[in-house]
Chains A and B, each alone.
Chain A
Amino acid sequence: MGIIHINKVTYEYIRRDEENNVEGITTAVDGVSLAVEPGEFIAILGHNGSGKSTLAKHINAILYPSEGSVVVDGMDTKDEDALLKIRQTAGMVFQNPDNQIIGQIVEEDVGFGPENMGVPTKEIWERVEESLKAVGMYEYRSYSPNKLSGGQKQRVSIASVIAMHPKCIILDEPTAMLDPMGRREVIRAVRALNDVEKITMILITHYMEEVIYADRVFVMDKGKVAMSGTPKEIFSRVSELRELRLDVPQVTELAYELKRAGVPLPDGILTREELTEALKKIRMMGQ
């Protein structure tokens, strides 16, 4: 039983002139079907304008399909009565760390969600504490958000989503505006929540090295799913990825270049450790 079912979804942005006549139609998502199992870590890649954000916004009912349907934990997103429950089940984190935090202090921000859901006060505080601890931000609970780094702000945004006890979190380029340490912190938090809390994660990113720990990767192109598979499978297809305006992690690219120079390395090397091990073996064979 999957947690998210996207069934033949098409979404059209319709442009209208002053008289409300249709001026143009952009098919941003074009007949996409995919199912996500509970506890999976899914990554979505794709060129700018390929429809990632449009698809993501369907999962927590910000957008509704023009055709097809989206079912989240058994609830059809078109069912208006289920809207709050859907948003609670599938929370969303966006790119910009500065316009997601509304509270004056960190713990207040994390408390807003449960408060709006009508959670009793005592339990709100328990949730705030556990959520901030889960992303490693508990020490900063009484800070003003503008005193935090970008990576810390994004972890607070994630904590605010977790406080609503979602089953699934969709992260739309959460690291795009962060420095290297901020990116590491956020990805570490995402992986830990997936491993430990079994929260289903859907990560959209343009940083290839962030998806090597995903269970499955989907690559979008012009509103369609063009490739899907494990990170190893996807990153073994270097030239196809490049045709789709994507790339591979730098480690994979280095291995690919060495292989092209004749070094007998396997395809789809994803980590520094794998490359070091493989090269050590090759050197021993050479001696």
Chain B
Amino acid sequence: MMENMKLIADHLVYEYNKGTNQTVRALDDVSFVIHPGEFLGLIGHTGSGKSTLVQHLNALLRPDGGTIYYDGADVFEKSYDRKALRGKVGLVFQYPEHQLFEETVFKEVCFGPNNMGLDIKEVEQRAYAAIARVGLTEECLDQSPFDLSGGQKRRVAIASVLAMQPEILVLDEPTAGLDPKGRDELLSMIMDLRETEGISIVLVSHSMEDVAEYVDRIIVMDKGKILYDDTPKVVFAHAKELEAIGLSAPQVTYILQDLKSAGLDVDTTGITLAEARNTILEALHWKG
């Protein structure tokens, strides 16, 4: 049973501005499990605690209550090697482009693996592979990351985490600001990483459509607590409840509800484009 659990978040509590009258409880008794090879979506309104939560997964933040187990070991034990953990749980920050600092794209992507103490050849190989994987061209290598467009910077930041070859890849709103093709490319790249390398993915996203399309399981955060932890179909069946906390169902789900009200016999549990298409064709008795 335990070996089927890569990471366990156990009753996490976290507060900002402790000991002042401005204390914010950003995480309030949060527990869940990440299985090997799983694609997990994390959604919630702005300020619900998503970014705070993901910074616990690689021990960047220390909880005020509860703990994290990685491969069965408590990562907040004194002797635990948290530096090594940061290579295994690769965190792509929200707006990671704000944290770029090297002179060139290539140096930027080498930074992480370099820090892990790998030899220079290995570091450079990983950097080239990661840069190619995120779809940046060779021309970018010697450019300053600061001279790139917003979307290009994002890719550099993701490449620099991928170069550490993590076992769990955590991405905090990675598609914000990417063009539609860039969103699709990034998400397919992540799917592909999971399939070929078997790594687990945690995707924080504000796109209900993307989450519906790609993830196996969704965790919904509301004011520091977990509201739902279930399959996308079950979670998005709660459209009303999601709206009440600043979220929504995917657009196609609303279309199916409209069609149902208009008397078309469609299945309103559809959450992806393909599901919507198929149930509409069936309802119309369309022989394609």
Contacts and interface: CB of A to CB of B under 8 A. Distances in A.
Nearest to A246: B180
Contact of A250 (B44, B179, B252, B264): B252
Interface string A224-267: 00000000000000000010011101110110011001110000
Given A46-B179, A257-B277, A276-B259, A180 B247 contact: yes
A257 B284 contact: no
A121 interface: no
B143 to A, nearest CB: 8
A17 B136 CA distance: 23
Interface string B270-286: 00010011001100111
Interface string A1-32: 00000000000010100000000001000000
Contacts of A258: 277, 280-281
Interface string A169-183: 000010011111111
A245 B181 contact: yes
A282 B44 CA distance: 38
Contacts, number: 137
B255 A180 contact: no
A253 B273 contact: yes
Contacts of A48: 149-152, 177-179, 182
B107 to A, nearest CB: 16
Contacts of B181: 47, 242, 245-247
A250 B273 contact: yes
A261 B251 contact: no
Contacts of A250: 209, 250-252, 273
A123 to B, nearest CB: 33
B269 to A, nearest CB: 16
B180 A180 contact: no
B46 interface: yes
B286 A283 contact: no
Interface string A268-284: 00001101100110110
B152 A254 contact: no
Given A49-B152, A179-B246, A180-B248, 8 more contacts: A15-B147, A179-B206, A206-B183, A245-B180, A249-B251, A254-B280, A261-B288, A280-B262
Interface of B: 44-47, 95, 144, 147-152, 173, 176-184, 206, 208-209, 243, 246-248, 250-252, 254-255, 258-259, 262-264, 273, 276-277, 280-281, 284-286, 288
Interface of A: 13, 15, 26, 46-49, 53, 95-96, 149-151, 173, 176-183, 206, 208-209, 242, 245-247, 249-251, 253-254, 257-258, 261-263, 272-273, 275-276, 279-280, 282-283, 286
Nearest 6 interchain pairs by C-beta: A48-B151, A245-B181, A49-B149, A247-B180, A150-B46, A181-B246
